[in-house]
Every structure is written in C-alpha cells, then in structure tokens.
Amino acid sequence: MIWRYAGRRILATIPVMGFVALFVFSLLYFAPGDPAAIIAGDQASAEDIVRIRASLGLDRPFIVRFGEWLWQVLHGDLGTSIFANLPVAHMIGQRVEPTLSLMVLTLLFAVAVAVPLGVLAAARAGSWIDRVIMLFAVLGFSVPVFVVGYLLAWVFALQLDWLPVQGYVPLARGVLPWLRNLVMPVIALGAIYIALIARITRAAMLEVLGQDYIRTARAKGLGSLPVLFLHALKNASVPIVTVVGIGVALLIGGAVVTETVFAIPGIGRLVVDAILRRDYPVIQGVTLLFSVVYVLVNLAVDLLYSVLDPRIRQ
Amino acid sequence: MIRWARRNPGIAAGGLLLVLIVLIAILAPLMFTVDPTALAPARRTRPPSAQHWFGTDMLGRDVYSRVIYGSRVSLIVGFAVALLSSVFGLAIGVLAGFVRWLDEVVMRAMDGLMSIPPILLAIALMALTRGSVQNVIIAITIAEVPRVGRLVRGVVLSLRELPYVEAAIAAGTRTPRLVWRHILPNTLAPLIVQASYICASAMITEAILSFIGAGTPPIVPSWGNIMAEGRALWQVKPFIVFFPAAALSITVLAVNLLGDGLRDALDPRLAKRL
C-alpha cells in the first residue's frame, strides 16, 4: 500500500524533471554568443567557424543536441566552464561543503526556532505574545536577507568584535571555527524561513486546537504541554512539513545572496561569479542541480506525508 | 474613518505608508534631491552631512538623491510584476480550469517552472538578456506566474462544483459569459491578496538581482544597485548600504502589511486560520 503510493509519487516527478532539463538546456541553446566563434578566435574566417561548429556538433537540430546533453548529464557530465576551462561538475563538487553546511544548519535552526514560536502563538492566540511573534513574522518577510546579514555583521563583527566579519572555515579544521563563521549567515538566511514556518505552524495549530479530540485530551486531565506537543502538533504536522519543503526554494535563492554578503566560497558564489562572466555552462549546471535538489526534497516531503497521515495514501 | 482604521490596522498603516512612498517617488525631483547620476569625484565617500543627508558614494554621487529616485525602480518593478503575473496567471488558471485537455499539459509545465527556485529562474533568464528594468520585470513575472495560475485554477475548479454555477451551466449560459459573470468576480479577492504578496517579493527579487549584478544596469539608481556599489566599502562606510536597505525594508513591509490587511478583510474565514 505504502509502496504503491511511493511508486506513484516517484513516477510523477519524472515529467517535472524532464521539463526542468528541457528548460535548463534551452538556456544554453538560446544563450547569446557563438561558442564556435569564441574558440576560433578573432583571426578565424567564416569557413573556419562553420568547420568548428560542425566538429562540435553545434549544427545539429535542437532535439538531437538535447538528447545528447541529457545523456551526458545523466552520466554526471555537466559540461565545461567557458571561463575556468574546468568541468562544471568538478567546480560544483569543490564548493558543495560550504553551501551544504549553510543550508542544513539554517534548516535545523529555523525549524527549531519557528515551530515552538508558532505553537506558542497559537496556544496564546490573541494575546500580546501572539501579536509580538506575528509582528516578527511580518518583519521576517519584509527585511531582505542581505539587510539582516549586513546588520548582524555590523553589530556583532564590526562593533562588538564577537564573530568573524566574513569567510568560511571548513569543517575539517574544527567544529567551533566552522560554527563561528556560520552563525551570522545562518541567522540572516533563516529569518524569512522562520517567519514562513512560524506563520504556517500557528495557522495549522489553530485549526487542530479547535477539534474535539483536543478537548477530550484536556478533559481526561492531560497537561497543556503534552496536549500541545503530542496531540496537536502531530496532527498539525502535514502543512508544517509541506512549508518546510516548499521553503527550501527560499533557502536556495537566499544562499546565493548570503554567500555574497559573507564571502562564503560556495555554489551560490559560483553562480554569482558566473553571471558576471556570462559563463553559461556554470549557470546552467547550478540551476539544474538546485532544481533537482528542490524536486527531491519535495518528493521526500510527499513520502513523509503518508507516514504522518495514513489517510493521504488513499 | 478612524473606526474603520481600527478595524483594519494592516490596510490603514500599510496603505498610508505605501501612498507616502508612491508620493515620494512621483515627487522625487521636488524632494530636495540633486541629479542622482551626477558624478563628483572630489567629494567621494563623504559621511552624512547637512549638504549630503545620506553622504556620497564611491563616485561622489549623492546617496540621498539615489535612494529617493531608487523608489521609482522598486515600485515600478513591484507593481508591474504584480499586474502582469495576475493577468497571465488568471488567463492560464481559467483556461486550465475550463479546457480539460489543456489542464494536464499546462499544469505539468507550471509544476516544472515551479520546481526551479524563483530567484535562480530569474537569474538564469537575466543571464540570457542584457540588464534593463523591462527585462527584470519579464524575468520575475515568468518566475511568479505559475503560482498565480495554480491558485486561480484551484478557485475555478472549486467554483465549478457550486450549485449556482452548475445551475448557470444547466440554464445554457455560454462559457465566456459564465466566466465573466460568475468566475472572475470570485477569483478577485484571492487574486488581489496574492498580487500584493507578489509585489513585495518582486521588489526583494529585483534588489537581489541588482545586488549580485544580474538586474538593472549600474547606471539606474535602484536600491539593489546602490547596495552593490556600497558592498566593497561597507566595512568602513556602512551608510552607503544601510540607507537603501532601510528604504527597501520599509517599502516591502508596507506592501506586506497591506496584503495581510486585505487578506483579513476580504476573506474572514482565512483570517481566522492564518
């Protein structure tokens, strides 16, 4: 039963992945500038360029080139950077650690902060605590990630000198230095994510708290904390988990900016440098990778539903 | 009037703030500004003073004037993206909701577009063209349209189940008239709320694109551009980054407050839940 549900969900992501691949390939196909002319150089004649185009296979139809590209991608070949002349997959591989550290820490931090805040706001709905939490949620939506980043860096690095202004220390050089460099980026990137999760948590909890079985749990003498966190939160978990999954798009977009503000040598920084140099294979590779990660995260969320709420399997 | 404002604090506060910012943008030349692109290399990176309220940037341009004129870029991008994505999203949603054979194809394409994180999608599109306000608007609109399309399709499908719509169909109402009379008016409320959130997020996306060098061309005084130019110097001259950052945050906050207020006012059922 659960396997049939899982199989259906996994099959459903294939057309979505196909569309993403088609879009990302079109990006390079329609990119301005002729790679053959660039390789041929300034001295080349028109015949030279035609010859190079043919030898690179650039004169073949769109669908043939798309098929060939897809075949390469499925074998882990994302093409070669125009600027660095290195394989894109290799360049991304070198920069996975900072970005993965930043995103995973932010995800854990945001959920750990936002869910209790949302539960508290719902439990005290209408009180000043609720209002303050919701005010911070609106602020979290409105203050862009680089603004939070610069503010934090100005206060805690430049004025108080508690934390390094920018940069990244690999995990291999010690957990503490690694964490110290990530504290501010994680808070800056987490702000909008916390706002989003706290709002949805509050809404989902309010819905559940109005149900009969909550009254039953209270009537049989359960304290208010077990009711909130054992009974109510478990039943409110589907929308919360959904928004955690959807919000990963915010993390990905925000990581690009956060890495720029805090000079973190990650994948986001790679794509920013690639834009300035018009290095299309790199932009294409990063877009494809992040989209696939996003689709897979949301697939995992879908599969998690059936564990959290068996009714969804039907 | 006061009683109305007390009942709808979000609309009142957000709306007032937004009207103020729009007025500032329209009246920018009268706001004691100078030419925001005028260079004065001799007066580079001056701190805020009576002559230059927000100081000057690396090229000696007046940061106050640039921030004031920057509001035009943010507002134009925000409003244009909100309007365009509403119009296209509405068209796509209604089509998918009424033309069954189109539904599957269109929705799969929307799913595909939605599976590319919006900022990355906008970056990828901007990499294909040169930077201009118009291209920024198009790129962000493409990234936002799928969400509106999904929303409208959902509303259309649920409306079609309602007895009065079924009655209208049974009475022989033609589809265009049905859409105009019964469907469109009911999509308006969720669409307006969604449009206000899109306006806010488009302003942030524009600033992010300009900040990382994939947005409006450097000559345009947009808040993202001013921050990008102040980035190299921000540890010694933080004011160049902070003034446009504050302006952007306040503007987005105004739009978000207005959006929350509109949601509460237009859909009391939803207001209780969120």
| A96-100, A199-203, B267-271: the lowest-pLDDT one | B267-271
Q: Are residues A100 and A193 in the same domain?
A: yes
Rounded mean pLDDT of B102-130?
Answer: 85
pLDDT confidence band for A107 (50 / 70 / 90): very high
Instruction: Classify domain B75-249 at the CATH topology level.
Output: MetI-like fold (1.10.3720)
Task: Determine the structural domain holding residue A32 and report its residue range.
Answer: 2-74
- The reply to whether A151 and A196 lie within a common domain is yes
Q: Which long-range contacts (CB under 8 A, 24 or more apart) does A38-43 make?
A: A38/A82
In sequence order, the β-bridge partners of residue B56 are B62
> In the listed set A43, A74, A105, which residue is the last one of a domain according to the structure?
A74
Together in a domain, A36 and A145: no
Interface test with A, best of B17, B115, B208, B260 (most A CBs within 10 A): B115
Contact of B121 with chain A, judged by CB distance below 8 Å, is answered with yes
Cα A26 to Cα B144: distance, rounded to the nearest angstrom: 19
The SS3 call for residue A87 is: strand
Q: Is residue A149 part of a domain?
A: yes
Q: Considering the domain boundaries, does residue A89 fall inside one?
A: no
Q: Of B143, B79, B71, nearest to B110 (Cα)? A: B143
Please report the number of interchain residue pairs, chain A to chain B, with beta-carbon separation below 8 angstroms.
140
Together in a domain, A142 and A106: yes
Radius of gyration of chain A (CA): 24
**Residue A87 covered by a domain:** no
Question: Among A80, A16, A65, which residue's Cα sits nearest to residue A285?
Answer: A80
Residues A107 and A69 in one domain: no
Q: Does A157 fall in a domain?
A: yes
- Are A80 and A157 in contact by the 8 Å Cβ rule? The answer is no
CA distance B241 to A147: 9
pLDDT score at A197: 92
pLDDT of residue A159: 81
By CA distance, what is B244's nearest residue in A? A147
Check whether A90 has a pLDDT greater than 80.
Answer: yes
B123 touches chain A (CB under 8 A): yes
Domains contained in chain A, number: 2
A203 vs B213: CB contact, 8 Å cut-off?
no
Q: Tell me the pLDDT band of A27, cut-offs 50, 70 and 90.
A: confident
pLDDT, chain A, mean? 83
pLDDT at residue A223, as a whole number:
67
Give the percent of chain B with pLDDT over 90.
16
pLDDT category of residue A39 using cuts at 50, 70 and 90: low
The pLDDT mean for chain B works out to: 82
Asked whether the predicted pLDDT for residue B54 surpasses 70, the reply is no
Residue A88 covered by a domain: no
Q: CB B253 to CB A142 under 8 A?
A: yes
**Are B213 and A287 a contacting pair at CB < 8 A?**
no
* Mean pLDDT of all residues in A244-257: 88
Q: What percent of chain A clears pLDDT 70, i.e. is strictly above it?
A: 93
**A67 with A108, same domain?**
no
By Cβ distance, the residue of A16, A256, A276 closest to B115 is A16
Q: The tokens of B71 are what?
A: 């509001």
Give tens-digit pLDDT for B117-176. Answer: 888 888 888 888 877 888 889 999 999 999 899 888 888 888 888 888 888 888 878 878
Amino acid at B170: A
Same-domain pairing of A216 and A257: yes
Q: Is residue A234 a part of any domain in this protein?
A: yes
Examine the domain organization and report whether A185 and A52 are in the same domain: no
Domain boundaries in chain B? 75-249
ipTM confidence:
0.83
**Is residue A83 situated within a structural domain?**
no
Total Cβ atoms within 10 A of residue A69: 19
CATH for A253: 1.10.3720.10
B13 Cβ under 8 Å from any chain A Cβ: no
Same domain, A274 and A146: yes
Q: What are phi and psi of B270, to 5 degrees?
A: -70, -35
- C-alpha span between A28 and A80 (Å, rounded): 12
A15: buried, middle or exposed (CB in 10 Å: 19+, 13-18, 0-12)?
middle
Residue type, A18: G
Backbone φ, ψ for residue A81 (5° rounding): -65, 135
Answer yes or no: is A105 within a domain. Answer: yes
Using the predicted structure, report yes or no on whether residue A221 has a pLDDT greater than 80: no
Flag if B128 and A27 touch (Cβ within 8 Å): yes
pLDDT of res. B273: 42
Shared domain check, A144 and A18: no
Separation between Cα atoms, residue A51 and residue A90, nearest integer Å = 29
- A145: Cβ–Cβ under 8 A, 6 or more apart, which residues? A188, A189, A191, A192, A254, A257, A258, A261, B208
Residue range A310-314: average pLDDT? 66
